[in-house]
Structure 1
Amino acid sequence: MDLALRQQTLGWGERVVLPDVTLEIRKGERVALMGRSGVGKSTLLGALQARAAGRAAVVAQDHGLVDALSVFHNVWMGRLADHGTSRNLRTLVWPNAQERAAAEAALARVGMDGLQRRMVASLSGGQRQRVALARAILRGGMAVFADEPVSALDPAQGDALLQSLAAKFETSVMVLHDTGQALGFATRIVGLKAGGIVLDAPVAEVDAARLMELYG
């Protein structure tokens, strides 16, 4: 699953955020997008996601959860596109044992097992991130696109969950800010400053000091 942008101008409406972007993501890579807030990381992530062929999972920065529903129903949203309206309505009212078991397996991978019946509105920020990650894991696919997916977790928890995603998805593209997590998770770093990409290198060729220059 290779993704490519060729001299693309990216932005919102008439606002140009990243002009003349050329970037290719190859199958099997784990790419960390890094840089200060507002330089276009989320815009670039969205453009790459839009070009992904086949099944892919998404972890949005705002989690994309529905507070009025339970943890189970928010996780099961990862499978809604796989079924018709009647099946989805039945699952909303009366999920069966197989559906609950699938959601529980995904929740167990993010440390949220046993909490299917909790209402999402009652969760902490870190728990909400875990639910969003469980939904991506349940959805599955060849790639995951994630925007600061572990920002509300402590570094050790975040590291563990990033490794869970690496084990589940062959290709990953993520916005990350923690330099240690990026160096530990990614195989490639793409760094942005205002106006475009200023760093694109294998992780073996960069260190924390060089990554911190992106935030200067």
Structure 2
Amino acid sequence: MSPLVLTDEVADYGGKPVIGPLSLTLRRGERVALVGKSGAGKSTLLGVMQQRWRRHGAALMPQQLGLVPSLSVFHNVYMGGLANHPTWYNLVTLARPFRRDIDAIMPLLERFDIANKCWSAAGELSGGQSQRVAAARAIHQQGDLLLADEPISALDGPLAERVLRALGETYPTSVLAMHDVELALRFTDRVVGIVEGEIALDEASHRVCAQDLLILY
């Protein structure tokens, strides 16, 4: 499959330039970490990627998560697969979920230690729980490309690693904006450093260490 390409992309916010001109090529099967301080343009760049690569099946896990507070955890995860079913099926599921969908989603919740929250409203969850629900939704959606904005910012330790591993197993190609540079280097094979909306570093993860990335902050 051909690579995904951005060429001389620019973006602004309120008339103020945020990124670019910026060019980047993402090879299929590549896992890329976007690193840099807050406000560097990572989230904006992910948004541009989603717009340009939507036809390639790009799935977005936004930093704000996009959960529906009034719906249950189950239904928020189920939303990742809405496009796989006709409208009538989705409407029925809203009132009375089918057993096959429960059987498909429950293992995801168990993997992230939130199965006990399956029928709780998403608005009742903690930040870490909400982030795990968003990750489960992205996994349930599936696809070829994942664009994730701080997917583990509210998690730590083994749980953060579990989520990153699960996302990596689901999506062969991914771009993850991350602040934890050590995890970024461990779970991706390429790191792209963003400074004031421009690419300041683009290197294979095994060729750099966390100390090398301090210049980005």
With the length of structure 1 as denominator, give the TM-score of the two structures.
0.94
Partner in structure 2 of residue 19 of structure 1? 20
Three-state SS of the structure 1 residue aligned to 2:154 is coil
8 Å Cα contact 1:63/1:129 also seen in 2: yes
Contact 1:55 1:140 (8 Å CA) reproduced = no
Q: Is the 8 A contact 2:112 2:159 kept in 1?
A: no
Question: Which residue of structure 2 lines up, in the alignment, with residue 50 of structure 1?
Answer: 51
Any unmatched runs of 5+ in structure 1? none
Contact kept, 8 Å, 1:56 with 1:140, in 2: the verdict is no
Aligned partners of 2:50 and 2:59 also within 8 Å? no
Cα distance change of structure 1 residues 195 and 98 upon mapping to structure 2, 3 Å threshold: closer
Aligned to 1:32: 33
Counterpart Cα distance in 2 of 1:56 and 1:40 = 19
Quote the offset at 1:197 in angstroms. Answer: 0.7
Provide, for residues 111-149 of structure 1, a one-character-per-residue CA deviation record: whole Å limited to 9, x for no partner.
Answer: 222431111111111000000000000000011110000
Structure 2: segments with no counterpart, 5+ residues: none
**Structure-to-structure mapping, 1:103-122, within 5 angstroms:** 103-122=105-124
Amino acid corresponding to residue 42 of structure 1 in structure 2: S
Which deviates more, 11-20 or 77-86? 11-20
Greater mean alpha carbon deviation, residues 99-108 or residues 36-45: 99-108
2:188 & 2:182 partners in 1: Cα distance? 10
CA distance in 2, matches of 1:69, 1:25: 35
Q: What is the alpha-carbon distance in structure 2 between the residues aligned to residue 166 and residue 159 of structure 1?
A: 10
56 and 105 in structure 1: CA distance in 2 versus 1, 3 angstrom threshold: farther
**Equivalences for residues 1-216 of structure 1 within 5 A:** 2-12=3-13, 14-52=15-53, 53-215=55-217
User: 1:155·1:181 contact (CA, 8 Å) conserved in 2?
Assistant: no
What percent of counterpart residues are identical?
45
Deviation at 1:59, TM superposition (A): 1.1
1:46 and 1:179 map into 2 onto residues whose CA distance is: 21
Instruction: Give the Å deviation of 1:13.
Output: 5.3
After TM superposition, give the deviation of residue 168 of structure 1 in Å. 1.2
SS at match of 1:151: coil
Bigger mean CA offset, 6-15 vs 35-44? 6-15
User: Under a length normalisation based on structure 2, what TM-score does the superposition of the two structures give?
Assistant: 0.94
Higher alpha-carbon deviation: 70-79 or 5-14? 5-14
Alpha-carbon distance in structure 2 between the residues aligned to 1:62 and 1:125: 10
Q: Distance in 2 between matches of 1:4 and 1:110?
A: 33
Mapped contact 1:76–1:138 kept (Cα < 8 A): yes
Task: Give the superposed CA RMSD.
Answer: 1.4
Please identify runs of 4+ aligned residues in structure 1 that moved more than 6 A: none
CA contact (8 A) 1:32 1:176 kept: yes
**Alpha-carbon distance between aligned partners in 1 of 2:15 and 2:38, rounded to the nearest angstrom:** 20
**SS at structure 2 position matched to 1:163:** helix
Partners of 1:154 and 1:57 in 2: CA distance? 24
My pick for the range that moved more, 195-204 or 131-140, is 195-204
